[in-house]
Structure 1
Amino acid sequence: MQLEQQSVVQDTKQRRFRMKDWILPKYGSDPWITLTSFLLMVFGTVMVVSTNMGVSVGSTKSLIIVLIKQVVFMCAAWGVGMNFVSKLFNYRIARFWQIALLLLYFAALVATFVIGVDINGSRAWIQIGSLFTIQPSEFGKPLLIMCLALSAGSIHLLPKEKRKFSYVFRYPIIMLCFSTVFVGGLQKDFGSLAITMLIGLVGVLIPSYTSLEKWQRGFVITVGMLFILFIVGCYLTDIFVDLFGNVGLMRHIAVRIENMKNPYLDIHGDGYQPANALYAIADGGLKGTGFGTSVRKYGFLTQSESDYILAIIIEELGIAGLSIVVVGYGIIFWRLIHWALRASKQEDKVLLCGVATYFVAHFIINVGGVSTLIPMTGVPLLLISAGGSALIAVNIALGMAQSRISAIRIATNDIHERPPHPKREKKQRKQRPKTKEIAVKR
């Protein structure tokens, strides 16, 4: 009886071990990032359902479908990113698949232009069936982070004559050029393009090699001049409005700059969305109107579940709702930078800082657009907004970060290497005597 009880206990422990392997990210991952990202996704799912009450008035079935879709997206994102990528990602595998992934990404961008669907004036989605769409440009951001990390890690492996900026960062440069043409030019998704460029800039500035210093100084000066031009053109003068106002393909840029300056200028036309976003924020105040009681989600904000979800969060939950988002993003950013500072490898620093930039850029551009502090560009609030592409993409980025955090913790003796699985250990014990006998016979 005692032996049977012991075997049952051992089997139960092994099952728990396997269950952890299926649910949790790689051993040694940062628990703060794991818990915070999961809670933000749950919070986002709840708010997506709340915002869709305005669209699904009187239709419980539609609301249930929205809930199921978002839960499926959340499970898929967690399984692919936090589980699969965090456990299998390493630089050797990434370098082997780098070119294939780039070609697949370029093909997806071309396919978006050829067979893509137009949503809210941007042709950035590919329709899959009647319920799902995929936005390839979102997956370009974690792919760019990976390419930048691989480029930074390959510098010391190259001979001195090849340690030039154009050769070291050739794959990220090609990718940025494609993104400029397809994402910015053809899809008119300037928000995603701006985030992609910011990730590329940070990835280039992080590595500390003498052969790159001249290029890094040049990038800092160029970006500084462009930032000053942006401030002057958007806030101090009407240069951009005059330039783009009468150009068909660029008119929407002028409209969004005008809405940023005065969202009440055309409240029943182009300023309808930003004005109602400000109304929602004002109605929320400190305490909010209460969960599920938003007025603006009933047709006033047509993108309340995606681009303008923060306005609904503040309207219903007030400053507390905004604090959940800010604190969650702050924890993830803090932990990523913490491990980037502890990393000894240049590629780890680039990857972790790239993921941190990914989060911060999305947050600043989304919050700035909703509050009309900057022109609205239509980027989602990561881990919270509705949709599957951005959710899966950001979890892939977090999965890569968690994989490298685990390696950094083992390298710095913060944790010990994980003991082998009981079944693998049993197999190894069986194989040891055989290998010894073969060695003796030889």
Structure 2
Amino acid sequence: MKRYKSQDRLIFLAITVLSILGIVMVGSASIGAATTNGSTWAITNIIKQLVFCLVGLFLMIVISRLYNSAIINRRTWMIFYVIMIGLLLSCLLWTAEKGTQAWIRGLPFGLTLQPSEFSKIVLVMILAYLLVDMPKKYRLKHPTTYRSLQSYENALKMRRIHCIYKPLFVVLVAIAVIALIQNDTGTAVITLAICLASFFVAKERIYTKVQNLMMIGVVVVIVTLPLWYNFIIKGYMATRFQTWLNPLSDVTNASQQVANALIAITNGGIFGVGLGNSTQKFGYIPEAHNDFISSIILEELGLIGLALILIPYMIIIYRLLKYAKHASDPKTTIVLTGIASYFFLHLFINLGGVSGLIPMTGVPLLFVSSGGSSTMAAFVAIGVAQALISKENKIAEMKSQS
């Protein structure tokens, strides 16, 4: 009970608001497809989303009470990593959907599992171990204490391999599997960005040069985006860039979803058309209860709907970053920063894509969009965060009493 009381209640309140909003809006957005999927389609999706939230809530409570950063250590980190990669590769056993092989199918009740959603959290926890404990294990002594210059150079080489190259290799292999083998570019981009955020807050001096190079790399990628579009990006990704630059270019095919999402947002205006009164969910936006659910929320609830999304998300992100900044353990700083970036990126990419701010990528709005894997992964992430927050609050309480 004490551990529960030391957790952050504002974060719990925020995810409660988002989850309730998600359950209600999944039902509302599903009504539009009832004519093709059956009269019980909306009720079925509401029940499924409710079950996903309840299972996720159970996982969150268990993890928030049991998780400890020591779970990932020199004996276990490779086990977690191999299992994660194995699950990602196992998706190849099932047929692709919309060109992507990212799901494990054939589970009870016809459910599917997307391992890449959980891999984002696992990678952050593994990086926290590698970026904190490896520099300690391979810390250099004063050069004069080594038997020879060669011994010192060997120690320096081992430090680079284990502290820099190993974490980079771990990340790049996972990204390659998601992007090249599963063909899931959106998830790969988010995973890479989360890992970059984790690298940026690593405090050991050995990472300063790597952090600077990463910052330069990010700037170069952003500045050279036009060249990427003109000479490198091909196929369906080029189509997404084209629909982003001109959402009205092909409203009956490639840009259908983006164009109709913009129409939905315009229809909503300030006050919205009213809960359940969306017109765009009736065949104009396919599967409106998934990645495009935010457009239905904005159409039906207007700015109130936008506030119901943004305010809880901002609370979650702000509180996580606040604890990360003042954490006593550098591993906690990395994990909480990674989880905060996880929520921020899903929010930014989903709303940015729907509103035409950035090219559309199939990314769910966590806790709100329909989907078992994304919903449960979000609850798991909060469970990990609450466990670390509880630990930090207890440490702060002990210091105040001493």
Q: Secondary structure at the match of 1:119?
A: coil
Matches within 5 A, 1:134-153: 134-153=113-132
Structure 2 CA distance for aligned equivalents of residues 336 and 176 of structure 1: 23
User: What runs of 5+ residues in structure 1 fail to find an aligned partner?
Assistant: 1-16, 234-238, 245-249, 418-442
Structure 2 counterpart of 1:366: 350
Structure 2 counterpart of 1:35: 13
Q: CA deviation at 1:131?
A: 2.6
Structure 1 counterpart of 2:151: none
Structure 1 counterpart of 2:310: 326
1:240 and 2:240 equivalent? no
1:181 and 2:176 equivalent? yes
Q: Secondary structure at the match of 2:32?
A: coil
Q: CA deviation at 1:171?
A: 5.5
CA separation of 1:86 and 1:226: change in aligned 2, threshold 3 A: same
Choose which of 82, 91, 102 in structure 2 pairs with 1:124. 102
Structure 2 counterpart of 1:384: 368
Choose which of 242, 248, 272 in structure 1 pairs with 2:256. 272
Q: Secondary structure at the match of 1:118?
A: coil
Report how many aligned residue pairs link the two structures.
382
Structure 2 counterpart of 1:214: 209
Structure 2 contact 258–354 (Cα < 8 Å) conserved: yes
Structure 1 contact 152–346 (Cα < 8 Å) conserved: no
Q: Secondary structure at the match of 1:373?
A: coil
Structure 1 CA distance for aligned equivalents of residues 15 and 371 of structure 2: 16
Structure 2 counterpart of 1:85: 63
CA separation of 1:173 and 1:128: change in aligned 2, threshold 3 A: farther
Choose which of 72, 83, 86 in structure 2 pairs with 1:104. 83
- Deviation per residue, 1:397-422 (Å, 9 max, x gap): 111111111111111117999xxxxx
Q: Secondary structure at the match of 1:56?
A: helix
CA separation of 1:194 and 1:99: change in aligned 2, threshold 3 A: same
CA separation of 1:360 and 1:165: change in aligned 2, threshold 3 A: farther
Structure 2 contact 132–204 (Cα < 8 Å) conserved: no
Structure 2 counterpart of 1:14: none
RMSD in angstroms over aligned alpha carbons?
2.1
Choose which of 29, 35, 43 in structure 2 pairs with 1:64. 43
- Deviation per residue, 1:183-237 (Å, 9 max, x gap): 111322211111111111111111222222111111111111112112x34xxxx
Matches within 5 A, 1:315-354: 315-354=299-338
Structure 1 CA distance for aligned equivalents of residues 237 and 18 of structure 2: 31
1:156 and 2:136 equivalent? yes
Structure 1 CA distance for aligned equivalents of residues 52 and 167 of structure 2: 28
Structure 1 contact 28–409 (Cα < 8 Å) conserved: yes
CA separation of 1:110 and 1:283: change in aligned 2, threshold 3 A: same
1:204 and 2:199 equivalent? yes
Choose which of 53, 58, 64 in structure 1 pairs with 2:31. 53
Which stretch of structure 1 is more off in the superposition, 146-155 or 173-182? 173-182
The TM-score, its normalising length taken from structure 1, stands at 0.82
Structure 1 CA distance for aligned equivalents of residues 241 and 293 of structure 2: 21
Structure 1 contact 145–354 (Cα < 8 Å) conserved: yes
Q: CA deviation at 1:119?
A: 2.5
Structure 1 CA distance for aligned equivalents of residues 57 and 97 of structure 2: 26
Q: CA deviation at 1:344?
A: 2.1
Structure 1 contact 191–365 (Cα < 8 Å) conserved: no
User: What runs of 5+ residues in structure 2 fail to find an aligned partner?
Assistant: 141-154
Choose which of 11, 18, 22 in structure 2 pairs with 1:44. 22
Structure 2 CA distance for aligned equivalents of residues 86 and 126 of structure 1: 26
Structure 1 CA distance for aligned equivalents of residues 398 and 7 of structure 2: 11
Max Rg structure = 1
- Deviation per residue, 1:39-76 (Å, 9 max, x gap): 21111111111111111249443332212211110011
1:260 and 2:244 equivalent? yes
Structure 1 CA distance for aligned equivalents of residues 219 and 113 of structure 2: 34
Structure 2 CA distance for aligned equivalents of residues 280 and 198 of structure 1: 30
The amino acid across from 1:337 in the alignment is: L
CA separation of 1:93 and 1:229: change in aligned 2, threshold 3 A: same
Quote the sequence identity (%). 31
CA separation of 1:104 and 1:85: change in aligned 2, threshold 3 A: same
Q: Secondary structure at the match of 1:52?
A: helix
